[in-house]
Amino acid sequence: MKKIPSHHLSSTREAASTGWLVRDNTVLATISCAQSRRARRVGLRGTDRVNTPLLLQPCRWVHSFGMRVPLAVLYINHGGEVVKIQELKRNRLPLPVVKACCVLEADADAPRRWNLHVGDTVEIRFAQDSRVTS
What integer is the mean pLDDT of 4-33? 70
List, for residues 46-98, the tens digit of each pLDDT value: 677 888 999 999 999 998 888 889 999 999 999 999 999 999 998 899 999 99
CB 72 within 8 A of CB 53: no
Its pTM stands at: 0.80
Backbone angles phi, psi at 10, to 5 degrees: -125, 160
CA distances from 30 to 17, 69, 91, 95 (A): 11, 20, 26, 27
1's CB contacts (< 8 A; 6+ apart) are: 79, 80, 121, 123
CATH architecture observed for domain 6-126 = Sandwich (2.60)
83's CB contacts (< 8 A; 6+ apart) are: 75, 76, 77, 97, 99, 100, 118
Residue spans of the domains in the chain: they are 6-126
CB 72 within 8 A of CB 107: yes
